[in-house]
Amino acid sequence: MTLQTFLDMTADVPESMLRPAMVAALAAEPARTPEACRRFYDRVVRELSLEALPDTIPPAPVLPRFAEA
């Protein structure tokens, strides 16, 4: 997904909904490369349920929990 497509699709989404979706998407993978940015846009759109996307995005990795002291 391109940045412009992402902006068009999320233009009417309230910031209070968009921010948590972006945080969830970034938790799965930092958007540090052009390809990672495209996956970020796709994840945000999927998180917001704006469009049914094909299952091309791998699920977020399960992060280990820290042992409580």
Separation between Cα atoms, residue 45 and residue 25, nearest integer Å: 9
3-class state of residue 59 by DSSP: coil
Where along the chain do its domains lie? 3-47
Give residue 66's pLDDT: 60
CA distance 2 to 17: 20
In tens, the pLDDT along 27-59 reads 999 999 999 999 999 999 999 988 644 555 555
Number of residues written out for the chain: 69
Task: Reply yes or no on whether the pLDDT at 68 is more than 60.
Answer: no
Around Cβ 47, how many Cβ atoms within 10 Å? 17
User: How many whole angstroms separate alpha carbon 64 and alpha carbon 66?
Assistant: 7
| Residue-level pLDDT at 37 | 94
